[in-house]
Amino acid sequence: MRLLVVCPFFPYPPDNGSRILQFNLIKQAARRHQVWLFSLIQSESERNNVAGIAPYCEDVLAVRPDRQVPGKLDGRRRGWDVFGGMVHKHPRHFYGAPSSNVVQELAWALSEWRPDVLLVSTLFMTNYLWQSLDDLGGVKKILIEQNVETSIQRQQVGVASSFSVQVRAWLYWLSFARFETLACEKFDLVTTPSAQDRQMLLDLAPDLDQTRVAVLPNGVEVASYSGDWGEPEPGALIFPGALTYHANYDAMRFFLDEVFPLVRRVNPEAVLRITGKTEGVDLGSLKLGAGITLTGYLDDVRPAVARSWACVAPLRVGGGTRLKILEAMALGTPVVATSKGAEGLDVTPGHDILIADDPGQFADAVLGLLDDPMLRQKLALSGRRLVESLYDWQSIGDRLNEILESVAGM
């Protein structure tokens, strides 16, 4: 089968959730099929990474958009994005009209590479295909939803900082729901990372044929998380996530404001390390006091996670499944998460993860884990077994290829 994969982020190096997913989709599909890759890049230096993905691809086309979109943290959306999606025949979201050079290059790739199946990673990339999705001849189309985007927009209403921001978020949510529904209807199959996300999508688009929505979980390559990473440091907490992503920023604002002070009051030796990029982030609005370290971007986050006593995932908004939780479990690092943080994962609270939503209860869970090596060992072993049994990319890859072959045979 000839498969064209379309990605919003260049999938190498696989150093964040989106890139890890895209890299493994390509790697697993290449086990049985011929793969071509079309990917956006944000800087010319990313072209140096082509060699890392090339062994799995027949050809790679990396395109830098001629119009850069603003970062998601600034919250600025043009009036067209808020209102136009409600009425326009071809609604566009994610900050306006798509870059024309990307649209043209993608049309060329479809014509030149002649795929049997088009695999589009994330709803964002449908902006560049909107005009052509209905006119691809015999090409089958699959959309990989990393989360149900409309649900995230709905959550933004609840965490809005003012009434005016809340109204704007509410209007954007309504228009976005129409956009996502129309986009999904253009595909032969849509995959979601969990059964919960699948149901959310079906609730959003009740006319969507249920047989055209399948679950394809995110995962980790378990073998690459094995080995001796060093001894865990008592009292050390970690949050492995770039603050440039709004859901991570909100999680840390909540944790630093309402949870970590409670932890430090009882255990003054507790420390928190926050990994990932912070460029363009309003750090002044975060309570970055004693015991808190911003590590910046790490080429390999695994040693830092493995040497931490626990990983915290206090997310309040977002969708899909949290790869940071699966990675921590694969490394044998116990996780304390909110219900939203653990959403979509087949976890058992108290057995392979600790879950708390109230700030006081979250702090108690962290403190209990810091004080109890036996509980840490229990959670570490159970979490690792869970990842091995349900979230290893080898078995997920088998499921991916079954989906590809089923769609190709429609």
pLDDT for the residue 174 = 77
**Same topology between domain 2-219+392-408 and domain 222-390:** yes
- The first and second tokens of residue 237, run together, are 């907490």
pLDDT for the residue 127 = 86
Query: Rounded distance, CA 398 to CA 353, Å?
Result: 27
Mean pLDDT for back-to-back runs of 10 residues, the chain (410 residues): 95 88 95 97 94 97 77 41 49 63 93 95 89 84 87 68 72 79 92 90 89 92 90 96 90 96 97 93 91 93 96 84 90 96 91 96 97 96 95 93 89
Query: Rounded distance, CA 37 to CA 12, Å?
Result: 12
Residue 279's CB is within 10 A of a number of other CB atoms, namely: 10
pLDDT for the residue 146 = 86
Mean pLDDT score across all residues of the chain: 88
* Residue % of the chain over a pLDDT of 70: 89
Give tens-digit pLDDT for 271-325.
999 999 898 888 998 999 899 999 999 989 999 999 999 999 999 887 656 889 9
> What architecture is domain 2-219+392-408?
3-Layer(aba) Sandwich (3.40)
Sign (positive/negative) of CA torsion 90, 37, 8, 215? positive
The SS3 assignment for 49 reads helix
Give the start-to-end residue ranges of the domains of the chain.
2-219+392-408, 222-390
pLDDT for the residue 99 = 85
Stretch (H or E) spanning 205: none
Chosen CATH of 222-390 out of 3.10.270.10, 3.40.50.2000, 3.30.1540.20, 3.40.800.10: 3.40.50.2000
- Cis ω before 13 (30° cut-off from 0): yes
